[in-house]
Amino acid sequence: MSDNTLPIDERRLAEATKRAIKAAGNLAICADETGLSDSHLSRCSSINHRDSISIRDAVRIDALGDERGVPHVLSAMASILGCVVITLPEPVSDDRCLQGAVIELATELGDVARAVSESLCGSSDGGAELTAREAEALLPFVADLERATARIRHHAETKARPPEPPA
Residue that wins the pLDDT comparison between 123 and 160: 160
| 92-146 per-position pLDDT tens digit | 667 777 888 899 999 999 999 999 998 888 676 667 788 888 888 898 898 888 8
- According to DSSP, the residues that pair with 2 across neighbouring strands are 49
| Residue 17 within any structural domain of the chain | yes
The residue from 17, 47, 80 where one domain ends is 80
Residues 68, 99, single domain; the answer is no
Domain span including residue 75: 8-80
> Whole-prediction pTM value?
0.59
DSSP for 109-135, please give it.
HHHHHHHHHHHHSTTSTTTTS--HHHH
Percentage of the chain beyond pLDDT 90 is: 49
| 102-114 per-position pLDDT tens digit | 999 999 999 999 9
Q: Is 35 left (phi over 0), alpha (psi -120 to 50) or beta?
A: left
